[in-house]
Amino acid sequence: KGTQCEKIVAKYGYTHLSSGDLLRAEVASGSERGKQLQAIMQKGELVPLDTVLDMIKDAMIAKADVSKGFLIDGYPREVKQGEEFEKKIGKPCLLLYVDAKAETMVKRLLKRGETSGRSDDNEETIKKRLDLYYKATEPVIAFYEGRGIVKKVDSELAVDDVFAQVSKAIDAL
């Protein structure tokens, strides 16, 4: 997701908000709340809904005047998060479903873990993150499929070939 988002920002100028990055910034601040978040993320579990939603909302408000549009990465993680987002903020116009095999994701995250410094890029936590993804996050796609806004992107390919599919979906907006 992060890899494609960077390319989307370069080409389309949208404001990229990664819920994971917002949470990691709070952890890095060393605050009391950051310490609680770190413990949850280390276990590969989900941070309480209101915490993440408030962070996204504040970040959106801060950029509302200058933004050409928002690219939200890693959120919603469960159907309930999507419902709350729509109540408090609004409806999305496109959902990019960046798909890869579990085996590919594990391989890429372990490789990323060699340099990312992320305490959740280890085999045990990756497994928990994937389990939770299939259980809680994948149903989000079905939720939005009914609205006809889901565009599936095959991310087994090279980065630029993935981006060609992403661009096509955005250009069709």
Ligand X SMILES: Nc1ccn([C@@H]2O[C@H](COP(=O)(O)OP(=O)(O)OP(=O)(O)O)[C@@H](O)[C@H]2O)c(=O)n1
Annotated binding site: 1-3, 19, 24, 45-47, 74-77, 81, 112, 118, 129, 157
Which residues are annotated as part of the binding site for AMP?
19, 24, 45-47, 74-77, 81, 118, 129
Q: Which of residues 128-157 bind ligand GDP (CB under 6 A)?
A: 155
Residues in the chain: 173
SS3 164: helix
Q: Which residue in this structure is represented by tokens 């796609």? A: 141
Q: Which window, 30-38, 53-61, 104-112, 130-138, contacts ligand GDP (CB under 6 A)?
A: 104-112
Could you give the count of Cα atoms lying within 13 Å of 115 in the half-sphere of its Cβ? Answer: 3
| Backbone angles phi and psi of 17, in degrees to 5 | -120, 110
Comparing CA positions, the residue from 46, 50, 51 lying closest to residue 32 is: 51
From residue 72 to residue 111, the character string flagging contacts with ligand X as x (rule: CB under 6 A) and all else as - is --xx-x----------------------------------
Q: Which of 3, 29, 31, 119 binds ligand GDP (CB under 6 A)?
A: 3
SS3 16: strand
Q: How far apart are CA 37 and CA 14, in angstroms?
A: 27
Q: Where along the sequence are the contacts to ligand X (CB under 6 A)?
A: 1-2, 18-20, 23, 40-41, 44-47, 52, 74-75, 77, 120, 129
